Amino acid sequence: MNTPSNNHWPWDVLGIESNSDERAVRRAYARLLKQQRPDEDAEAFQRLRYAYESALQMASGAPANGFAAAPDQPNGDGAKAAELIESTPDPATAPAMRPVTANAAEVEVAHEPDAFDTAVQLWQNFVARADDLESRRSLQDLFAAVVNIPTRDELEWQALCHCLNEDTPAALRMNLSAVLGWRDNAAHLRRRNAAIAALALDRVFADEDYDALRLRFAHAMALLEGPMPRMTVAARALLRAGARAEMEQLLIALGRYHPNVVRLRLDAEKADFWGRCLKFRIGVGRLFGPALALNGWCGLLFADASLNPNRGRWFDEWSPAQLGILLGTLMLALVAIAATTVVLSEPHQQKLRALRAIGWLRYGWVPMWLGATAIALCDNGSGSSTSIATAMLGACTIWAALVHGWPPSKELAILAAVSATALGFAGHWIATDSHAWLMPYAHGVLFAFFISFSQSEWREWVARRPRVYWACAPLWFAGFAALIVLLVQREARATQFAWALFAVMSAAGGVLATTRWNDLRGAIPAFFRGYANLAWMALAIYKPDIVACVCAGLMSVWVIEGGRRRGG
């Protein structure tokens, strides 16, 4: 086939002229085979291999598959292999040629030479017209004009192989996919040559996905494709409204669903750079947002715990030592957060996540928190137990934040205040020890962490173990009965034990049953809802014992309903 053509496939890959004979094709293949080994670059080797087969077919006019099996050789059930040997008259190239073994069932069905030659000529004539390469209508007309099925199959294969060329316009790849329906129907191409089809289709689909991502994430893609700025400049660019969220969604989409876009259309180094910038931006935002507020709160708890228990725990009692404890806690905690969220590399982050999944590290703060709260509620009046418990609650807060992360400050503060006040803890502490005003809110913060992260995980764990549920349910009702008896006695010591018991029950109730506090709130008409909330808060402050009994009774009802569903 001596007609010159503007079609670069497969002659560009072999580095020879389009009118080369079989000898020149074999020599070029042998030369390049020494440079591109299959164990070093499988993709380049596959492209070279198919370019060699296609060029050999064009030079010799052989059948399209490029192989010939002995017709009289028995094949049995199709599992017997046929050895296909490539030969060359030049002994200098003999070491580069190796026998290729293929299963006889996988040998392609030979097409008629005229169908192959016709398809090659049609495609060469098409790509010679540069104006038609990006026109979908021209492609539709080209394939609509071919009525011979073998010729059309060969033409489609030539088009697919052309997509392997680096200089093929992306619009041509996407138009071919749209006209020929490769997204939904490419099985026939993979059956013909799975390796070549996979390489070509990856390029085609990468172009389509890239175009879709540019439309969906316009601003993030503009940053990703632009020049790489300094880390601080890039982090500042992510401060714009919606930029951080859009970049985060883009990188997640590229990593999970479109890895070929990064490999074939984007610069992987830039994607990795913006991933680090995003991590830095999120880490700094958390560092100076919820982490700063929560660590300041923990420093306040430690400073309060260091005061003399026999004196008042107010700010006017602070000395430079308390201020140093506050600032020291704040700095140490911020350094720890910076190290775990910004500085650590991805392998170290994976090890840290695996460490956080260890049971006693993930949930060990819960029994410490409940135990410290119970100790503080049972304080004998010396104040030393409350000081120890305050320090333990501060340590548990930092522990929970390092394990579960840093929730938004506003949501955490609201949930902590509601948990501390609506359940009656603030009212009880104010009535018994007004100096320990930090304790109910320290308990509320940890209660908010428990509700946000641990409660659902513990509930699922109990749901998978019915025996644990049926063993804990009687203990719950025994605790409820003990709570009523202790509160009825109206003795200071009995009331302290009752509230220590209620602190544990309020956490256990959400594990044994699904608490439906929002359902109760929703049952109140919207017009009266605000007044009902105010009335409940006033009752929780002035009559906390009644609130504790009502809350425990409601949770008991929910535990019974949960038991009925399990039994049913």
More confident residue, 83 or 526: 526
User: For position 98, what pLDDT does the model report?
Assistant: 38
Euclidean distance between CA atoms 339 and 328, whole angstroms: 17
CB atoms under 10 Å from CB of 475, counted, come to 12
- 301 and 369 Cβ atoms separated by less than 8 Å: no
Kindly indicate the confidence band of residue 325, based on its pLDDT and cuts at 50, 70 and 90: confident
**How much is the pTM?**
0.56
Euclidean distance between CA atoms 519 and 539, whole angstroms: 20
Mean pLDDT of 338-365: 79
Residue 6 makes CB contacts below 8 A (sequence gap 6+) with 124, 127, 128
Cis bond before residue 10 (omega within 30° of 0): yes
Euclidean distance between CA atoms 101 and 84, whole angstroms: 6
pLDDT in tens, 402-417: 888 767 777 888 889 9
User: For position 371, what pLDDT does the model report?
Assistant: 94
Euclidean distance between CA atoms 534 and 139, whole angstroms: 72
Least confident interval from 109-123, 129-143, 414-428, 535-549: 109-123
Whether residue 490 has pLDDT greater than 70? yes
Kindly indicate the confidence band of residue 69, based on its pLDDT and cuts at 50, 70 and 90: very low
User: For position 27, what pLDDT does the model report?
Assistant: 79
**Tokens at 315, concatenated:** 């700010």
> Between 290-305 and 439-449, two packed helices, what is the crossing angle to 10 degrees?
140
What residue type is 102 in one-letter code? A
- For the chain, what is the mean pLDDT? 80
**Tokens at 417, concatenated:** 């205040």
Mean pLDDT of 268-274: 87
- 62 and 56 Cβ atoms separated by less than 8 Å: yes
- 104 and 116 Cβ atoms separated by less than 8 Å: no
Whether residue 52 has pLDDT greater than 90? no
Phi, psi of 67 (to 5 degrees): -125, 155
Mean pLDDT of 70-90: 34
User: For position 428, what pLDDT does the model report?
Assistant: 92
User: For position 310, what pLDDT does the model report?
Assistant: 63
Least confident interval from 287-301, 387-401, 414-428: 287-301
Euclidean distance between CA atoms 243 and 137, whole angstroms: 38
Kindly indicate the confidence band of residue 518, based on its pLDDT and cuts at 50, 70 and 90: confident
Whether residue 65 has pLDDT greater than 80? no
Radius of gyration, CA atoms only, the chain: 37
User: For position 29, what pLDDT does the model report?
Assistant: 79
Euclidean distance between CA atoms 275 and 219, whole angstroms: 15
User: For position 288, what pLDDT does the model report?
Assistant: 65
User: For position 76, what pLDDT does the model report?
Assistant: 39
User: For position 33, what pLDDT does the model report?
Assistant: 72
Ranges 75-89, 295-309, 314-328, 531-545, most confident: 531-545
User: For position 243, what pLDDT does the model report?
Assistant: 84
Euclidean distance between CA atoms 212 and 254, whole angstroms: 12
CA terminus-to-terminus distance, the chain:
80
Euclidean distance between CA atoms 294 and 296, whole angstroms: 5
pLDDT in tens, 181-223: 999 888 989 888 888 888 889 999 999 999 999 999 998 999 8
- 365 and 399 Cβ atoms separated by less than 8 Å: yes
User: For position 285, what pLDDT does the model report?
Assistant: 60
- 344 and 402 Cβ atoms separated by less than 8 Å: no
HSE value, Cβ hemisphere, 13 Å, CA-based, for 93: 17
Whether residue 51 has pLDDT greater than 50? yes
Whether residue 341 has pLDDT greater than 70? no
Least confident interval from 4-8, 31-35, 133-137, 363-367: 4-8
Least confident interval from 6-20, 79-93, 473-487: 79-93
Whether residue 273 has pLDDT greater than 60? yes
Whether residue 482 has pLDDT greater than 90? yes
Whether residue 348 has pLDDT greater than 70? yes
User: For position 343, what pLDDT does the model report?
Assistant: 64
413 DSSP β-pair partners = none
What does the buried/exposed string (b/e) look like for 531-543 if buried means 16 or more CB atoms within 10 Å of the residue's CB? Answer: eeeeebbebbbee
User: For position 106, what pLDDT does the model report?
Assistant: 36
Kindly indicate the confidence band of residue 366, based on its pLDDT and cuts at 50, 70 and 90: very high
Q: Locate tokens 């660019």: which residue?
A: 237
